Amino acid sequence: MRHALLVVLLAFGGCKKSSDTKDPKSDVKPKAGLMVGLVTDIGGRGDQSFNDSALRGLEAWAASSSFKGGSYEAMPAATRDALIPADLKARITPVALKPLVVQSKVQEDYQPNLQLVVDQGANLIVGVGFALENAVETVAKQNPDAKFLLIDSPILDAKGAPQSLPNVRTVVFKEQEGSFLVGALAGLVAKDKLGFVGGMEIPLIKKFEAGFRAGVKTTNPKAQVLVQYTGTFDNVQHGKQAAADLVAKGCEVVFHAAGSDGSGVIQAVKEARAGGKAVFVIGVDSDQAHLAPEAVLTSMVKRVDLAVWQAIKDLEGATFSAGDSVMGLKEGGVTFAEVTLDFPGKAEALAKVKSLEAAIIAGSIVVPANEKDLESFVAPAN
């Protein structure tokens, strides 16, 4: 088993051992100098997407720290402010804590990495990604005094049904809702063909696909959506090959939900635009415009950073509790990034997307989350 990279910030005050906490739901306020540990999935730091969003919530939003050269340093206020969306600036306040990040290289790392963070005395342990579900369940049961946050999956029993543990908070997202909005926008930008690149063909990623296709169907019902899955989340070349194929087949907008593979998708579209093709790409999880400002139309932003920050803030205020939660448009869990590129009819297109967003929040549009629901989905009248 490979040894993971353990990063501990020592600049803050001392931390409290998890064994000191008698009840994960206790109202007793933790001692000063919190330690929050985070275990990445194999995408790791630098994926420009899912893991980096979780790290942003811990390191920048909460700890006001930057990880550079193997250690942490204080983040300038202006830098931190730039990393917080305008609609959240008044809400996101810093927390005095020590970040502790362990990067997983293979799936076999998940359980020992989580236990390592527990043993270091973290007051909260964050598992980033559905792939850590079994490991979080095991380690949480073995350490009932420790508090856990699991992102992107509930805890499942042997039959695959959700179950609750008294020391685990889980957060899942309505990815289909955010994907619907970027699909609706893409349908207004493209004429005939659009593409979707997924990572592993699993229910979680099918939510992105279903929402995207439903959005396209709503604004451009005659358009064709071509779909490819790379089978991975950590192979940039796979993403680049998939996107290049979709562009070659005439796709005018390509949306990805493929983890690190998505960097390859963005690169392929960037190169296609440089070669004269009129094609855009839509990023995922984080705002990915900085990767190719001339090619990224928008990004379907999943607020993993907000879920992580909120758990930390609850920990600080002694209001952290276990349980399952779902974050969609209404809860601010998904959205789409600012559209900075110009295209014909941009103002009207954005107004249409915002009206669809309001309809989803109001409940008048229920976005399909799987292929079966997509087949029966009736697009609202334009």
Residue 48: its pLDDT value, please?
Answer: 87
Q: What are phi and psi of 282, to 5 degrees?
A: -115, 125
pLDDT, tens digit, for every residue of 303-334?
Answer: 999 999 999 999 999 999 999 999 999 999 99
- pLDDT at residue 28 is higher than 70: no
pLDDT, tens digit, for every residue of 161-193?
Answer: 899 999 999 999 999 999 999 999 999 999 999
CATH number given to 5-173+304-327: 3.40.50.2300
Sorted by where each begins, the domain ranges of the chain are 5-173+304-327, 175-302+342-375
The neighbour count for residue 10, using CB atoms within 10 Å, is: 8
- pLDDT at residue 70 is higher than 90: no
Tell which CATH architecture fits domain 175-302+342-375: 3-Layer(aba) Sandwich (3.40)
Residue 69: its pLDDT value, please?
Answer: 86
Identify any residues that bridge with 72 across adjacent strands, giving them in sequence order.
67
Length of the chain: 382
Residue 160: its pLDDT value, please?
Answer: 87
DSSP 119-188: HTT-SEEEEESGGGHHHHHHHHHH-TTS-EEEES--EE-TTS-EE--TTEEEEEE-HHHHHHHHHHHHHH
SS3 state of residue 135: helix
CA 172 → CA 101, 151, 299, distances in Å? 21, 6, 19
Quote the CA–CA distance of 53 and 152 in Å, as a whole number.
Answer: 13
pLDDT, tens digit, for every residue of 220-249?
Answer: 999 999 999 999 998 999 999 999 999 999
Average pLDDT taken over every residue of the chain: 91
Q: Same CATH fold, 175-302+342-375 and 5-173+304-327?
A: yes
Residue 345: its pLDDT value, please?
Answer: 96
Residue 17: its pLDDT value, please?
Answer: 35
